[in-house]
Structures are given as C-alpha cells and as structure tokens.
Amino acid sequence: MENFTPYSAFLGGSLIGLSAALLMYFNGRIAGISGMIAGAFDFKNSEHHWRLFFLGGLILAAVIFNLFAPHVPATYSRSTLLLIISGVLVGYGTRLGNGCTSGHAVCGMARLSIRSIVATVTFMAVAILTVFITRHLLGILQ
C-alpha cells in the first residue's frame, strides 16, 4: 500500500528535525534512537530518565496517532523469521556503525560530522545495493 504525500512527509520530517533540535538545545544530546535505547536501561547512568521519557513519547505518539487516524491494518508478506533476522542485522549494524540512521543522518549530518556523513552514505549505498540484489538479481522481494 502506498499513500505517500509530500505534505505528510514534510510534516513528519519537520517534527523529527524539531525534536532532534530541541533535544540538542535543551539537553545537549543527539537524538539517536539506538543510543537512547542502550542508555535508557543503564540504570547506573543518571541520564536514563530523559531517555525513557523520549522513547515513551515515541510510543505514545504512535498510540495517539492510531486513535485518531483512519485504521490501516498492518500486513506483512514476509515470514516472521525474515523479520526477526532483519531486526537483528539492523541492531548489529547500529552497534557496528556507532549509531543508527536517526543519529547519523538526522543529527550528525546537521552538525556536519564527517563520520556521520560517511556513515549515512554507507547506509544508503548498502540499502540500494541490497534492494537491487534481492529484487532484481534474486527476485526475493517482489
């Protein structure tokens, strides 16, 4: 199902950028979700509270959206095992790359971090290559 509209993409991207900018301004922290998750459950760290609130806000926003938006059922045409393997690989990649796409692409590139620019170019190149191989060469994701 595709229902992309430039307006919703602009609004969503603007809200993501605003939340990242506000977190940087008020807390001096980068809004990278993988780092937040890692730090949220480190109870020895005194900063785990704001991380839990930020992550809770992400979940709460999805719940509120679901209450007021037209219901769109989520359907998956792939196996549960493939989704689990994909999630594990993404998690491994975020640890390997010292951050996730939200941390590097949204926040790191905004700060003109060379490391984040290289990471984001690498993420995108690998994603493009993976889609090309799986869809066009192997015919897996049709």
pTM for this model (two decimals): 0.66
Q: Which pLDDT score, from 0 to 100, does residue 141 have?
A: 60
Average pLDDT, the chain: 83
Q: What is the pLDDT of residues 87-109, one digit of tens each?
A: 888 888 887 878 887 788 888 88
Q: Is residue 98 exposed (0-12), middle (13-18) or buried (19+ Cβ within 10 Å)?
A: middle
Q: Which pLDDT score, from 0 to 100, does residue 43 have?
A: 81
Q: What is the pLDDT of residues 15-53, one digit of tens each?
A: 888 988 898 898 888 888 888 888 888 888 788 888 888
Q: Which pLDDT score, from 0 to 100, does residue 125 have?
A: 94
